[in-house]
């Protein structure tokens, strides 16, 4: 699959993988700052942003998209940064292609599965996707109207504003989702999947997990799973942040990454 991407800077290659509902556009300011030291690639993963849509969305196919991208760009090894779904995909990628990674940074996601029926994350994503999927966008004339409809199910303005970045407008002033809502809805259980806890230890390159202080994506019990699969990984907390740490504390986020890589 031909993925859309943005590229900034020169130096060692660094690839950023966005999370669910995200895109390369959300990472431009971070990418440009990191481009002071690296050649930064911001990828739109399939079914997101400006990359093609498909009926499949699981970590097996996403990691094959990434290896295909790296081969096409002649990237032998890269620093991989993945947030949320992107971080989970990066972990699956590291299990199969450790020789293609020089450093791995996983932002606010654990290797465990989040697909149990009472998982707070699964329940939250089900609510979000149902709200987006059920909107009849045809005939809507403003983003404000879409926001009002989303607010009935999603009270948090910050989450709605993030979701609304997936709205695109045609030359005929018609709105649509750039995100492939249908596939994401159908594949959500696969997106919530996790690594096998009996996975062979993944070593051979430096690994950093970053946790948002106020986020529930990496719990205390998850630290045991992280250490079991990634025994030499570092785990650091970014204060006063939730799940979207890179948007809430971008300067601290960038400093944690650059200090880790350049140490």
List the catalytic residues. Answer: 84, 243
Nearby residues of 100 by Cβ (< 8 Å), 6 or more positions away: 67, 70, 75, 76, 77, 78, 93
Report the candidate in 37, 55, 97, 244 with the shortest Cα–Cα distance to residue 156.
244
How far apart, in Å, are the Cα atoms of 177 and each of 50, 104, 233, 242?
Answer: 11, 31, 37, 25
**Beta strand 5-8 pairing with 39-43:** antiparallel
Task: With H, G, I as helix, E, B as strand and everything else as coil, classify residue 113.
Answer: coil
**Beta strand 101-107 pairing with 207-212:** parallel
Count of C-beta atoms within a 10 Å radius of residue 1: 16
């Amino acid at each position: 699959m031909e993925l859309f991407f943005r590229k900034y800077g020169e130096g060692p290659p660094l690839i950023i993988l966005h999370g669910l509902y995200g895109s390369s556009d959300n990472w431009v300011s971070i990418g440009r700052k990191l481009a002071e030291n690296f050649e930064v690639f911001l990828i739109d993963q399939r079914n997101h942003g400006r990359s093609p849509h498909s009926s499949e969305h699981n970590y097996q196919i996403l990691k094959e998209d990434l290896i295909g991208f790296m081969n096409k760009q002649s990237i032998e090894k890269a620093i991989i940064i993945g947030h949320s779904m992107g971080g989970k995909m990066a972990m699956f990628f590291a299990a199969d292609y450790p020789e293609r990674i020089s450093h791995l940074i996983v932002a606010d996601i654990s290797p465990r599965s989040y697909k149990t029926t009472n998982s707070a994350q699964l329940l939250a994503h089900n609510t979000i996707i149902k709200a987006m999927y059920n909107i009849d966008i045809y005939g809507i004339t403003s983003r404000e109207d879409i926001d009002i409809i989303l607010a009935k199910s999603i009270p948090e303005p910050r989450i709605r504003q993030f979701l609304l970045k997936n709205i695109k407008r045609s030359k005929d002033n018609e709105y649509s989702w750039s995100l492939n809502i249908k596939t994401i809805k159908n594949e959500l259980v696969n997106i919530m999947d996790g690594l096998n806890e009996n996975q062979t230890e993944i070593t051979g390159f430096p690994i950093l997990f970053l946790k948002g202080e106020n986020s529930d994506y990496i719990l205390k019990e998850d630290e045991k799973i992280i250490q079991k699969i990634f025994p030499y990984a570092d785990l650091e907390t970014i204060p006063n942040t939730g799940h979207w740490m890179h948007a809430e504390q971008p300067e601290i986020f960038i400093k944690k990454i650059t200090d880790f890589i350049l140490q």
